[in-house]
């Protein structure tokens, strides 16, 4: 009888070893795949950020300058939007589809700002476009993982970053109503 129980224990141990080995092998494969995917996602989000910044420069130029005709403004912003849209389409495997759609729509309407006669409405339109841009950048940091990595590094290194500028920025984050007043004053200029 002891031979049967020893055989059973041996078979059970072998099967358990094979199962554990398979689980570990799959886990290693997932870790390797995840690292590659993270690198590609990060590269895609870095390029998207560059394209958004280029679009922001175009949008700011056409919203501020009255030297362009409506057709010229439309052509300029269309080129920027097409560049962002083409990039998001080419990288749909690595970019969040909702975020990609937001990025494409970020500067839509910038070409119409100079056509608006009411200064308050013009300032609101500019503010909405800037807000869309800021939201896009914030969401890119969140979805790419950069935001979490930054928090991890700050916990790890515990830096004490302080200057009058940094302290003022922290103050404005804690008091968003003051930041809104600053934006309103800037848009009326």
Q: What tens digit of pLDDT does each residue of 60-78 get?
A: 999 999 899 999 999 999 9
Give residue 10's pLDDT band: very low, low, confident or very high (50, 70, 90). low
Quick one: 179 and 127 in the same domain? no
Contacts 24+ apart (CB under 8 A), 86-94: 87/47, 87/48, 87/51, 88/48, 91/44, 91/47, 91/48, 94/37, 94/40, 94/41, 94/44, 94/45
Quick one: 164 and 119 in the same domain? no
pTM metric for this prediction: 0.72
pLDDT value at position 21? 76
Q: How far apart (Å, rounded) are the C-alpha atoms in residues 111 and 123?
A: 14
Give residue 7's pLDDT band: very low, low, confident or very high (50, 70, 90). low
pLDDT value at position 171? 87
Residue 150 lies in a domain: yes
Cα angle 120, 49, 177 (rounded to 5 degrees) comes to 40
The label of the residue with tokens 């094979």 reads: 18
Quick one: 69 and 93 in the same domain? yes
Quick one: 84 and 94 in the same domain? yes
Domain that holds residue 181: 160-189
Quick one: 65 and 95 in the same domain? yes
Provide the 8-state DSSP code for 121. Answer: H
Q: Where are the alpha helices (DSSP H) in the chain?
A: 2-64, 70-90, 97-105, 119-144, 146-157, 164-174, 176-187
- Do residues 128 and 77 lie in contact, with contact meaning Cβ atoms separated by under 8 Å? no
3-state DSSP call for residue 95?
coil
Quick one: 95 and 179 in the same domain? no
Residue 4 lies in a domain: no
Residue 20 lies in a domain: no
How far from each other are the two terminal CA atoms of the chain, in whole angstroms? Answer: 95
Quick one: 187 and 130 in the same domain? no
Flag whether pLDDT at 130 surpasses 90: yes
**For 47-52, what is the mean pLDDT?**
97
Quick one: 110 and 186 in the same domain? no
**pLDDT exceeding 90 applies to what percent of the chain?**
53
Work out how many domains the chain is built from and give that number. Answer: 2
Flag whether pLDDT at 2 surpasses 70: no
Quick one: 171 and 186 in the same domain? yes
pLDDT value at position 55? 97
- Do residues 144 and 97 lie in contact, with contact meaning Cβ atoms separated by under 8 Å? no
Flag whether pLDDT at 30 surpasses 70: no
Q: Which two tokens stand for residue 29?
A: 């494969």
Higher model confidence: residue 147 or residue 57? Answer: 57
**For 72-97, what is the mean pLDDT?**
96
**For 135-159, what is the mean pLDDT?**
86
Quick one: 109 and 50 in the same domain? yes
Quick one: 113 and 178 in the same domain? no
Q: How far apart (Å, rounded) are the C-alpha atoms in residues 39 and 21?
A: 27
Residue 173 lies in a domain: yes
Quick one: 111 and 122 in the same domain? yes
pLDDT value at position 16? 73
- Do residues 84 and 132 lie in contact, with contact meaning Cβ atoms separated by under 8 Å? no
Residue 119 lies in a domain: yes
Q: Which two tokens stand for residue 40?
A: 């590609």
Residue 164 lies in a domain: yes
Average pLDDT value over all residues in the chain: 87
3-state DSSP call for residue 1?
coil
Residue 147 lies in a domain: yes
Q: Which of 2-6, 65-69, 80-84, 163-167 has the highest mean pLDDT?
A: 80-84
Other C-beta atoms closer than 10 Å to the C-beta of 35 total 10
| Burial class of residue 127 in the structure, from the number of CB atoms within 10 Å of its CB (0-12 exposed, 13-18 middle, 19+ buried) | middle
The label of the residue with tokens 């700011």 reads: 60
Give residue 125's pLDDT band: very low, low, confident or very high (50, 70, 90). very high
């Amino acid at each position: 009888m002891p031979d049967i129980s020893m055989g059973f224990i041996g078979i059970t141990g072998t099967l358990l070893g094979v199962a554990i080995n398979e689980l570990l092998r799959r886990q290693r494969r997932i870790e390797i795949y995840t690292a590659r995917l993270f690198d590609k996602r990060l590269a895609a989000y870095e390029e998207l950020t560059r394209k958004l910044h280029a679009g922001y420069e175009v949008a700011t130029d056409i919203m501020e300058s009255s030297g362009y005709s409506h057709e010229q403004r439309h052509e300029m912003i269309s080129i920027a939007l097409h560049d962002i849209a083409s990039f998001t389409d080419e990288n749909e495997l690595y970019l969040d589809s909702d975020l990609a759609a937001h990025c494409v729509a970020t500067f839509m309407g910038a070409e119409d700002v100079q056509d608006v006669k009411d200064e308050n409405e013009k300032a609101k339109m500019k503010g909405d476009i800037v807000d869309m841009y800021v939201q896009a950048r914030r969401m890119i940091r969140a979805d790419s993982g950069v935001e979490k990595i930054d928090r991890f590094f700050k916990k790890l290194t515990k830096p004490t970053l302080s200057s009058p500028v940094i302290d003022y920025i922290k103050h404005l984050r804690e008091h968003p109503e003051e930041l809104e007043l600053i934006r309103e004053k800037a848009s009326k200029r």
